[in-house]
Structure 1
Amino acid sequence: MSSPFQIIDPHVHFWSLKENNQPWLADPQPNLLGDYSPMAHDHLPQDLVQASGEIEVLATVHVEADATDPIAETRWLSRLMETGERLAPSALVVGVDLSRDDAEAVLDEHMSLSTSVRGVRQILNVHANPLFDYVGRHYMHEKLWKDHFALLADRNLSFDLQIYPSQMAEAATLARQHADTQFVLNHAGMYVDRTTLAGWQDWRDGLRLLGQCPNVSIKLSGFGMLDHHWTPESIRPLIWEAIDVFGVERALFASNFPVDGLYASYTQLWQAYADIVSGVSKHEFARLFRDNARSLYCL
């Protein structure tokens, strides 16, 4: 399919460095992203407007951007949304540390700041290799964290699930225990261990476990984070496998703007997605690129 075409982008990040809320941008240190210093500057809705080119972006969902103070991030985003600026977020997935004693109060403060809060993300990635380890602890093992997870269903909030394949079996158990909570697996399940057949099998089998949970959807995004030199051919098997497991009813494309802008332009990314699924029907295309995001995040 040739551009232009319409999308809803359900995974973007905005930030302003003068807010001093993303210290990881103030002093970039190479990590799994590689050298991410080229994105260590403000990223605002007008930057996405410029990047989108002929892609017609109908709406965006902002996902928390590892802010030191998630409440301050939501307060800043709320002001941004009030401006009516084009491509300011239509919905927010906010940051909450569910392991903290004050998790419920923090969650409610987010919701008091904006009626556009639709979900929560707390990054859970743990890996033996320090290069890939995000958090250094297994939150899903912790009783207080698991107790606080129930707060999401009480408030009709979804959970953006960012994990590695080695954590998928435990996440599937969590999803079954919280059948009333919508889970959205981030970044196609982050297929990280790419050098062995076992690594592929862990990703594939983990997806199948999660796919058996009807309350889990998958966000097809973030491919450049672990494959800095991706091509449409290299990510095609991952996208096809994910759609085969979850179906077009529970899969949705996203950009991970501006992070994946380190590896390809915004238009190159969306055109690759469109080309990879060029054989789907118009109805299926609409679900993958717009309608599933609209439904999941109540846009």
Structure 2
Amino acid sequence: MYDGPVIDPHHHLWDYGMGKHRWLMPVEGAVEALGGLEPLRRNYLVADYLKDSAGHNVVGTVHIEALWQEDDAIGETLWLEGLDKSQGVALRYVARAPLGTPEARDVIARQAAVKRVVGLRGILSHHPTQPQKSFIKRADLGYDEDWRRDVGLLGEAGLHLELMAYPYQAQAVFDIAQAFPKLQIIVNHCASPIDRDEAGMRRWRDGLALMASRPNIALKISNPGAYDPQWTPQSIQAVVRDCLKAFGTERAMFGTDFPVADLQMSFSEIYTNFKQAVAHLLTPEQRALFHDNARRFYRFD
């Protein structure tokens, strides 16, 4: 199995005591799609990530915004800048901005001025029949004129767009990519197979194929056990196989989504399943998925 260098292009860090991540707080109306959040209500800092990733040859990582309070989006970036970088953790950032608001232009410019910021993330994940699984209230956010206006600013600022979306938003992601053909878009978490019945998985595979038809969309195969409390190595391998069937080995990459993914599986389980799923591929293809593609998309050079 693969034993080369790894870049983890998707993880989070937080200081729980700062109170900047409201979604982690024990409040009514928390997003149930993630499961019980109690194990996440603690600090998760560089030392914690290093402990979890020990033995996996992780040579660099990308920090993805962790829903830090939106009226202080730049605060998370400044906090990250103060953390230890000597062991490769959080060498690049995908930050946050209040897209669709009058403040967005200024925040995007301020984020882009930080050298380690290479992209911004938007969240479109909305479930039409199970509101407890929705991360946003508006099903049509991806078509909002103000939101689209701010997406257009990202390319001008030299940033890419990272998106979290369910299969129900696959058409919107495709349309965004078509509207901004020079903008790199990276879809998170295997494009979120949120409904695990037969119809839901078919909807997810159709969404993968639709998004993959746009050359400016790439896919992160991250948190592969999300939304699947009864996951098995076989079910993880099936998800990886379908992702690679759609996007190939040049527009996909493996990531953990730690510590959120720890709700379903350990760090070692994630990478063991990834390695087993692609053991049949040539070594250069495996290295692309574990390291080279992340290095290219997140501009480690």
1:94-109 map, 5 Å: 94-109=95-110
Q: Indicate which of 71, 74, 89 corresponds to 2:74.
A: 71
* Aligned residue number for residue 20 of structure 1: 19
Q: Quote the offset at 1:290 in angstroms.
A: 0.2
The more displaced of 222-231 and 65-74 is: 222-231
Tell me the distance in 1 between the aligned counterparts of 2:261 and 2:11. Answer: 10
Instruction: Quote how far apart the aligned CAs of 1:269 are.
Output: 0.9
8 Å CA contact retained: 1:49, 1:87: no
Partner residue in 1 for 2:124: 124
Asked if structure 1 preserves the Cα contact closer than 8 Å seen for 2:31 and 2:133, the reply is no
- Equivalent-residue separation in structure 1 for 2:61 and 2:54 (angstroms): 15
Instruction: Report deviation, 1:74.
Output: 0.9
Question: TM-score of the superposition, structure 2-length normalised?
Answer: 0.94
1:121-200, aligned counterparts within 5 Å? 121-128=121-128, 129-137=130-138, 138-195=140-197, 197-200=198-201
* TM-score between both structures, scaled by the size of structure 1: 0.94
Percent of pairs with identical residues: 32
Deviation of 1:97 (Å): 2.0
1:140-165 per-residue CA deviation (whole Å, 9 max, x = no partner) reads 12111111111011012111111111
1:210-289 equivalences under 5 Å are 210-289=211-290
- Specify the SS of the correspondent of 2:120: strand
Deviation at 1:30, TM superposition (A): 6.5
1:131 alignment partner, SS class = helix
Instruction: Write the letter of the residue equivalent to 1:122.
Output: G
Task: Give the whole-Å Cα distance in 2 for the aligned partners of 1:9 and 1:100.
Answer: 31
Structure 2 residue matching 1:230: 3-state secondary structure: coil
Q: Residue deviations 1:256-287, cap 9 Å, x none? A: 01001122211111011001110011100110
Count residues with an aligned counterpart.
294
Give RMSD over aligned pairs: 1.4
Give the partner amino acid of 1:76: W
Q: Does 1:9 align with 2:8?
A: yes
In structure 2, the CA distance between the partners of 1:141 and 1:30, relative to structure 1 (3 Å rule), is closer
Give unpaired runs (5+ residues) of structure 1.
Answer: none
Q: Take 2:199 and 2:269, find their aligned partners in 1: how far apart are those partners?
A: 31
Q: Give CA deviations for 1:223-279 in whole Å, capped at 9, x if unaligned.
A: 222012322111211111110111100010000010011222111110110011100
Cα distance in structure 1, aligned partners of 2:4 and 2:267: 13
The letter of the residue matching 2:123 is I
Q: Is the 8 A contact 2:188 2:221 kept in 1?
A: yes
Asked if structure 1 preserves the Cα contact closer than 8 Å seen for 2:224 and 2:270, the reply is: no
CA contact (8 A) 1:229 1:263 kept: no
Query: How do residues 36-51 of structure 1 correspond to structure 2 at under 5 angstroms?
Result: 36-51=37-52
Contact residue 156 and residue 181 of structure 1 kept, 8 A: no
Output the CA distance in 2 between the equivalents of 1:213 and 1:30.
Answer: 30
Q: Distance in 1 between matches of 2:54 and 2:115?
A: 30
1:223 aligned counterpart, secondary structure: coil
Q: Secondary structure of 1:89's match?
A: coil
- 1:188 partner letter: C
Rounded to whole Å, the distance in 2 between the matches of 1:218 and 1:56 is 22
Contact 1:30 1:36 in 2 (8 A): no
CA distance in 2, matches of 1:211, 1:266: 27
Q: Which residue of 2 aligns with 1:111?
A: 112
Quick check: 1:57 aligned with 2:55?
Answer: no
Please list every run of 5 or more consecutive structure 2 residues that lacks an aligned counterpart in the other structure.
none
Q: CA–CA distance in 1 between the matches of 2:68 and 2:201?
A: 32
